[in-house]
């Protein structure tokens, strides 16, 4: 069991989300338990249209368009499976206050079957109508679980910071399972989770409010592919404490069948 005092989920608490609605700022990935806090730490503003499949979710998480009507996010961002019209997805903009923002309500949620707070940290949200934007394909092989990844989000830009109005982006290097396992005292779930970050220096990471957002890289054809989902970490951007992400390739078949069951 992870220590919830130090290891935090990268979701923004309701209070932080309400504040963000008034004054939004760029954010980063986050750790296990819900906690108000940081967009991408060490990030820079993304350009309009650079990552068109990025989605901001009203509960204080990120996500990516898996299809034009289904958002892939983290299991810990939702409360379970079933009908759900309480979530608003904002897409199509890097500035959440833009008049061009596309806002669509949810209709159903599918949380990863068997999710219990450790591993299997993925979920799907079906939207009331399709969003006419490009989608982000997911990895179905471990071939891309290496190299340098891009992270993006509207979460806090520093540990304990505010949610961001503008989408921030950064790059982080792969951290092998053995190194990450040692960093977290055996709390990693190998196979379910993949790590990335600057072990020696820290300084770049996702943070609170980035949960559910994608960690992605280019595939062999030069197209973006989602390799990880922002899940948790100890603080944000601390040296020796890399970000932990859901290993998407492990769950690719389950995600595909889940999306089929939602009919989106």
DSSP one-letter code for 95: B
Question: Do strands 224-234 and 137-138 pair parallel, antiparallel, or not at all (unpaired)?
Answer: parallel
Q: Exactly one of 35, 121, 157, 210 is catalytic; which is it?
A: 121
Return d(Cα 84, Cα 87) in angstroms, integer. 7
CA–CA distances in Å: residue 197 to residues 12, 24, 69, 179, 224: 21, 25, 31, 11, 19
DSSP one-letter code for 36: S
Sign of CA dihedral 71, 77, 81, 84: negative
Q: Exactly one of 81, 106, 162, 211 is catalytic; which is it?
A: 211
Is residue 14 within 8 A of residue 208, CB to CB? The reply is no
Return d(Cα 34, Cα 194) in angstroms, integer. 20
Active-site residue 121, yes or no?
A: yes
Closest listed residue to residue 9, CA positions, set 160, 188, 195, 232: 232
Active-site residue 76, yes or no?
A: yes
Q: Exactly one of 76, 162, 210, 231 is catalytic; which is it?
A: 76
Active-site residue 23, yes or no?
A: no
Q: Which residues contact 36 (CB under 8 A, 6 or more apart)?
A: 12, 13, 15, 16, 160, 208
Q: What tokens does 209 get?
A: 């409010």
Sign of CA dihedral 67, 54, 82, 87: negative
Residues designated catalytic: 76, 121, 211
């Amino acid at each position: 069991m992870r220590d919830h005092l130090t290891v935090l989920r990268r979701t923004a608490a309701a209070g932080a989300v309400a504040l963000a609605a008034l004054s939004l700022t760029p954010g980063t990935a986050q750790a296990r338990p819900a906690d108000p806090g940081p967009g991408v730490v060490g990030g820079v503003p993304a350009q309009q249209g650079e990552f068109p499949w990025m989605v901001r979710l009203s509960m204080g998480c990120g996500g990516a368009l898996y299809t034009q009507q289904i958002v892939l996010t983290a299991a810990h961002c939702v409360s379970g499976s079933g009908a759900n019209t309480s979530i608003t997805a904002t897409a199509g903009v890097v500035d959440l206050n833009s008049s061009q923002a596309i806002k669509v309500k949810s209709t159903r949620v599918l949380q990863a079957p068997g999710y219990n707070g450790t591993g299997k940290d993925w979920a799907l949200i079906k939207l009331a109508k399709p969003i006419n934007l490009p989608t982000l394909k997911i990895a179905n092989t471990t071939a891309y679980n290496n190299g340098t990844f891009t992270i993006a989000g509207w979460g806090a830009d520093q540990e304990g910071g505010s949610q961001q109005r503008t989408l921030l982006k950064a790059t982080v290097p792969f951290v092998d399972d053995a190194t990450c396992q040692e960093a977290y005292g055996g709390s990693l779930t190998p196979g379910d989770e993949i790590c990335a970050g600057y072990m020696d220096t820290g300084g770049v990471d996702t943070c609170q409010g980035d949960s559910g957002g994608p960690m992605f890289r280019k595939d062999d054809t030069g197209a973006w592919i989602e390799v990880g989902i922002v899940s948790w970490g100890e603080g944000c951007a601390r040296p020796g404490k890399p970000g932990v992400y859901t290993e998407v390739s492990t769950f690719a078949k389950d995600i595909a069948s889940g999306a089929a069951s939602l009919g989106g």
